[in-house]
Amino acid sequence: MSITETPEVTPERARYYDKIQGQNLSPLWMVFNRLISREPRSDCRPHLWSYAELKPLLLEAGGLITAKEAERRVLILENPGMPDSGRITTSLYAGLQLVLPGEVAPAHRHTQTALRFVMDGNGAYTAVNGERTLMAPGDFVITPPWAWHDHGNDTAEPMIWMDGLDIPILQFFDASFAEPYGADEQPVTRQTGDSLARYGANMLPVDHAPDGLASPIFNYPYVLSREALEKMKSQQEWDPCHGLKLRYVNPVDGAAAMPTISAFIQLLPAGFASAPYRSTDATVFSPVEGSGYSMIGGERFDWVERDVFVAPSWATVTHHPESESVLFSFSDRTCQQKLGIFREQRLTDPS
């Protein structure tokens, strides 16, 4: 026997296997190379969702069900390799949420960590633990686990963002809890912008004591992220695989902004062809600016602004922007790093 071969099933062995099955037992040697594979095996498949096709469907849903009735009016981005699972990767969930003018998505809380990546509309709000933040395209907004949150739209235009949650991770641990607030909106107890002022200027209140593992900043405005990338590009220090890539961090300790999800923003110059790269964190991408295509596991995916595409674990990825482009992405990298299992590889051969 080897790690890649399964022993032959003889008549005697078959009778034995039938015998022990009645005792809720099974032989490891018959499934060893399925349980412990030489390289990652996943049902997750590379795929791209076109925003131009998704938006009309989302707006159509807006005419069928209210945000209050739905609790969250979301179209799940379901990976084609895992139908009916509610997953975009093995460990993560993603969906597009619509809040129409005048609507409120009711306040609730849950043990799942959530991110919002704003795609369309300007000026709607998310409220987290008594503070509201106004949202603009490209903003990265987080909801820490067990934090009260609601969403509202006081503007004249629909607001659409991508939700990313660690739902499958909590399902794996059987640790899901959720609770309604009891009213559509929670009371506003802090001024808009308070958390960014306290924690987002490379300073902390002198008596700050961390409350949980998530960042105390819950809106990372795109205008600031883009400014940082623009300043950095003048140095012309391009990583062969990533261009310029930054990770969103918790200012308290420099760790990922969320305890289970890592998020990133990267700039790719026009005509850049990234070197082949693969890693064990299946990753969800969404272009904020630009257009181009990415090769994922040998398949080509052409993308424009607001599209969403996914790269499975250990799939070779290259990016080919046709114009200067900015990509937002998120994955379970921080989980893997904490467990000591994250692996990445820079390749010279794209195959």
Q: How far is the C-alpha of 281 from the C-alpha of 262, rounded, in Å?
A: 10
Q: For residue 211, what pLDDT is reported?
A: 86
Which residue is associated with the tokens 């034995």? 16
β-pair type (317-321, 291-296): antiparallel
Q: Residue 243 in 3-state DSSP?
A: strand
Let me know: does 297 contact 277? Beta carbons within 8 Å: no
Q: Residue 265 in 3-state DSSP?
A: strand
Q: For residue 350, what pLDDT is reported?
A: 45
Q: How long, in residues, is the chain? A: 351
Let me know: does 166 contact 204? Beta carbons within 8 Å: no
Amino acid found at 273: A
Let me know: does 155 contact 124? Beta carbons within 8 Å: yes
Q: Could you tell me the CA-to-CA distances from 228 to 47, 140, 235 in Å, in that order?
A: 30, 15, 12
Q: For residue 351, what pLDDT is reported?
A: 43
Residues of the chain scoring pLDDT < 50: 1, 350-351
Structure tokens at 62: 């807006």
Which residues touch 50 (CB under 8 Å, ≥6 apart)?
Answer: 307
Which residue is associated with the tokens 């272009």? 287
Q: For residue 2, what pLDDT is reported?
A: 66
- Residues forming beta bridges with residue 317, ordered by sequence position: 277, 296
Selecting from 2.60.120.10, 3.40.50.261, 1.20.1730.10, 3.20.20.370, what CATH number does the domain 47-346 have?
A: 2.60.120.10
DSSP conformation letters of 124-157 = -EEEETTEEEE--TT-EEEE-TT--EEEE--SSS
β-pair type (344-346, 277-279): antiparallel
Amino acid found at 313: S
Q: How far is the C-alpha of 123 from the C-alpha of 120, rounded, in Å?
A: 10
DSSP conformation letters of 22-54 = TTT---GGGTHHHHS-SS---S---EEE-HHHH
Nearest Cα residue to 296 out of 327, 323, 324, 334: 327
Structure tokens at 184: 């559509």
Q: For residue 4, what pLDDT is reported?
A: 76
* 48 Cα distance to chain centroid: 14
Q: How far is the C-alpha of 78 from the C-alpha of 95, rounded, in Å?
A: 8
Q: How far is the C-alpha of 88 from the C-alpha of 191, rounded, in Å?
A: 35
Q: How far is the C-alpha of 213 from the C-alpha of 209, rounded, in Å?
A: 11
Secondary structure letter of residue 64 according to DSSP? T
Residue spans per domain, the chain: 1-38, 47-346
Q: For residue 8, what pLDDT is reported?
A: 95
Q: What is the pTM of this model?
A: 0.95
